Structure 1
Amino acid sequence: MKRLIEAGLMFGNLIHISSPALVERYNRALTHLTGQRTDLSDFHIDIAGYSPEIGDELGDHMYLNQNGVNRQFILLTTQQKTAPLLNVQFSMNRSVLRQFIEQNENQLFALTTRDAVAGELLNSVYSLESPQQLFDIRRIRIEADTTAGTLRQAQALGDKIDRFMGEEDAWFDDVLIAEMITLAKKTGDVTRNPVTLDLMEFSPENYWTAHFGGLYVFRGMDHPAVISRGEKEDLGKLPIKYVFDFNDRNQVAKFLDYNDLVEPIVKARGVDAAAILRQKMDFIVVDVAQDRGIDLTGATRRDIRALARDHAADLPEEFHGLQSLLRWAEAEGSWPKITSDHPAYFYTLRAANHPDRDLVNMLLAELSPKDMRQLFICHKEAFYSAYQGWSETKKGYVVDFLTREYQVDKAGTRAALFGHDAPLEVAEAAPEDDLIERVGPWSALRRGQAEPPRRPEKPRGPWG
């Protein structure tokens, strides 16, 4: 994993803590939450305040996430909102923390200039002994305060001020006045500068969890289901109608289709479908080269294509399925029949434009694991797990590719692969089916641009 860390592909974008004042604040919060301290003078933290260096020091990388259910957090700066979340146990936790920081950014900025903010993502489950308990998680509530209890004291001062202003004889209550003065010394003037946080509540319906081997829970769908990475029989009876595992390819494909969660890459607007398919094919060739012990050091795309020619007989069905789809995309072949039974099927899809698209792309990444770029972008935990089993030559190629092709323009790459930027004026001008017939399934015509020659009439693909 050292190679990934040095390339910034693991533990990247963490916040470096080296100021003695911040280290001391972190220790106060750490003691407040866990009763422990760190002797390190500098370390890095993620969005939740977890530090891999402190995890090594304590011999416990779950020191802020005991039982992997109610994650605790330490905020030293609002800059943590851009950091990743490490040791992910639930897919929604990072977005919950980021929304909390962004919605309370001004207040948190003021609070963290003097102290650390410590808190917890609370739900009604404190440990997960069985998969059935996942369905008891209905709401996530954020609880937070400074280590000195600033918010609690501000609330108490506010209550006393209300009492002072509302009671007729409060002017003569020396004890009440003394208590107000004592609290005001700690909190400041809460009437002019109110110290409050919107602690927020979330109701997660669709999410991934690392528990029980990895589960995708889709409760908020027209056709709800649980999809398990491991054997579904190991889960026992769940309070949901449909339970699938990765061996149920037909059922998973129908689930994605019935809920309108995916779209074929070749029908997606604004993407270079042919380029995406070629790259996926290259990744499959790299996987074959690893199995053959071929050295990939410094391999270019031309080298990868040469390997594909030299080892054509060894290439799996995924490659040949994508190749047939590529031939159609480049107007050089007929429509391929790629059903959900075909190993290439999930490689041909991406999430449609809906609120759970990141979760669906995460699922598709696990269903098409040879596409190491999508695995890295959409499912870091699965990528790091797969990486440990690769040969040194594949590790070197993957790190070099991601550094050269992805790190230089992360946002652009994600937009090109997973974005949904249909031109509004064109999308509103005609129904979708008519639009695809008129301009093709990969890009819209600019106004005034000549219409390309029509291809011979043929079915529009195996998806309808």
Structure 2
Amino acid sequence: MHRLIARGLMFGNLVAVDSPVLVARYNRALAALTGRTTALDRFHIDISGFSPEIGEELGDPRYLNPRGVNRQFILLTTDQARAPLLDATFSISRQILRQFITDNQATLFTLTAQDAVAGELLNSVYTAEAAAQLFDIRRIRITADTTAGTIANAQALGALIDAFTTRPDGWYDDVLIAQMIDLAQKTGDVSRHPLRLTQNEYVASDFWTAHFGGLYVFRDVTHPAAIAVDPDQALGDLPILSQLDFNDRAAIAQFLSENDLAVPVAQDRSARTIAILRYKMDQITAHTAAMAGEALNAVTSRDMHALARRHAQALPAAWHGLAALLRWAADGGPWPRITSDDPAYFYVMRARPGPQADLVNMMLAELSPLDARQLFICHKRAFYAAYAGWPDPMRDYVANMLERDYLGNKAQVRDQLFGDTSRRSGPPPLPARRGPWG
């Protein structure tokens, strides 16, 4: 993985923890959550506070996510909102953490100025021994506080202030006043600067999970379904209308169509369509040539044409389906009929903008794994797993390609591939409770 790390394609955008004060705060939070500490004086953390260096030091890459269900986190700065989430077991975890930091920006900024904030993403499931248990996850509640208990103290002080101002004898209660003074020294003036997390519950209707070989759960759609990545996983009966796996290509295509979740990439003969199709074909050509032992150093578009001719017999059916679409888009050829049975089908689909867009693109990327760029953008975990099995020429090509064509121009590449991103997906906060009748 050294090629990816050197180019910022792995462990990129992590937050550096390199001062004695921050290390000490991190250790206090780590001890509160796990009972362990680190001897490192410099490391990097992701949005959840997980550090790959500490994971290696402790021999436990899941020290903040022991069961893979309720992830713990450590916040040293609100800047962590821009960091990735490494080794995620749920697709919604980073979205929820980022939304939580955004929703409580002012409070968390104040708290992390003096201490670390430690917390956990809680749901009603504590283990995932059976796939059906995952369907009990419907909302995520975040509990968090500093290691000194600042938020709890602020809540306690607020209750004392209420008692002081409402009780007839409050002005004469020396014990009450002494308690208020003691807590105020720890929290500051909570009447002017309230320390409370105003939003800490989020809906978890649709998600991907790494459990059971990978499982996509779509519940907030017209026709709900669970789609397993590994057809050999024995999931048992699931409490959902439709249960599919990656071998059910026609059924997955029908699911996407019935719920209006995806649209074809090739909808016109525009330069954008032609560029996308050619790039996808180049990805497949590079993979085929690399698996045949070709060196792919500094290959150009002309080189890709030569490689395609040289390995024409080995190119997979998906490449030929894309080529037929390219002939239609670029040369005015006949419209090819590409059904869900065609290996090229999922290569030419993208999510329709909406709340499930990221999850749909994630699934489409895993259904079209030879498109390395889309796999990297939409499904990092699947990309790293695929990368580990590639020969060195393919690793070199992909690392150079992503550094050259994606890192410096992320927004434009995403817009070209996925179109309108004005309605990005994400976990909506829970509405305020109003009682059983609304």
Please state which band the TM-score falls in when normalised by the shorter chain: over 0.9
Maintained 8 Å contact 2:270/2:329: no
TM-score by length of 2: 0.94
Partner Cα separation in structure 1 for residue 255 and residue 193 of structure 2: 51
Contact 1:209/1:215 (CA < 8 Å) preserved in 2? yes
- Residues 322-344 of structure 1: CA distance to partner in whole angstroms, max 9, x if unpaired? 01101111242101011100100
Task: Classify 1:199/1:120 alpha carbon distance in 2 versus 1 (closer, same or farther; 3 Å).
Answer: farther
The answer (yes or no) to whether the contact 1:269–1:421 under 8 Å persists in 2 is no
Please tell me whether the aligned partners of residues 271 and 417 of structure 1 are also in contact (alpha carbons under 8 angstroms): no
Distance 1:354 1:196 in 2: 31
Q: How does 1:44-443 map to 2 (within 5 A)?
A: 44-231=44-231, 234-267=234-267, 272-420=272-420
Q: Following the alignment from structure 1 to structure 2, what is the Cα–Cα distance between the partners of residues 198 and 88?
A: 26
3-state secondary structure, aligned to 1:234 = coil
Q: Return the offset for 1:377.
A: 0.2
Matched residues in 2 for 1:271 and 1:299: separation? 22
1-side partners of 2:270 and 2:200: how far apart? 37
Q: Which secondary structure does the structure 2 equivalent of 1:413 belong to?
A: helix
Instruction: Please give the per-residue CA displacement for 1:263-312, whole angstroms capped at 9, x wherever unaligned.
Output: 00112798701100000001111111022111112212211111112222
Query: Which amino acid counterpart does residue 313 of structure 2 have in structure 1?
Result: A
Question: What is the distance in 1 between the residues matched to 2:123 and 2:15?
Answer: 27
Aligned partners of 2:285 and 2:304 also within 8 Å? yes
CA contact (8 A) 2:120 2:142 kept: yes
What amino acid does structure 2 have at the position aligned with 1:159?
A
Q: RMSD in angstroms over aligned alpha carbons?
A: 1.4
> Deviations for 1:400-438, whole angstroms, at most 9, x for unmatched residues?
10011111111111111112179xxxxxxxxxxxxxxxx
> Letter of the aligned partner of 2:284 in structure 1?
I
Percentage identity across aligned positions?
Answer: 59
Alignment CA distance shift 1:56-1:268 (3 Å): farther
Indicate the SS of the match to 2:313. helix
Q: Distance in 2 between matches of 1:245 and 1:333?
A: 35
State the alpha-carbon separation in 1 of the partners of residues 419 and 142 from structure 2.
31
- Does the CA contact (< 8 Å) of 2:256 and 2:262 recur in 1? yes
- TM-score where L is the length of structure 1: 0.89
Structure index of larger Rg? 1
Letter in structure 1 aligned against 2:27: N
Counterpart of 1:460 in structure 2 is none
Bigger shift: residues 35-44 or 195-204: 195-204
Tell me the secondary structure at the aligned position of residue 366 of structure 1: helix
Cα 1:282–1:192, aligned 2, differ >3 Å: closer, same or farther?
Answer: same
Q: Residue 266 of structure 2 aligns to a residue in which SS?
A: helix
Unaligned runs of 5+ in 2: 423-438
Maintained 8 Å contact 2:17/2:45: yes
TM-superposed deviation, 1:355: 1.1
Runs of 4+ in 1 over 3 A off after TM superposition: 268-271
Output the CA distance in 2 between the equivalents of 1:29 and 1:84: 20
What is the one-letter code of the residue matched to 2:254? K
Q: Post-superposition shift, 1:232?
A: 5.9
Could you tell me how far apart the structure 1 residues matched to 2:336 and 2:47 are?
45
CA distance in 2, matches of 1:214, 1:399: 25
Counterpart residue identity of residue 349, structure 1: M
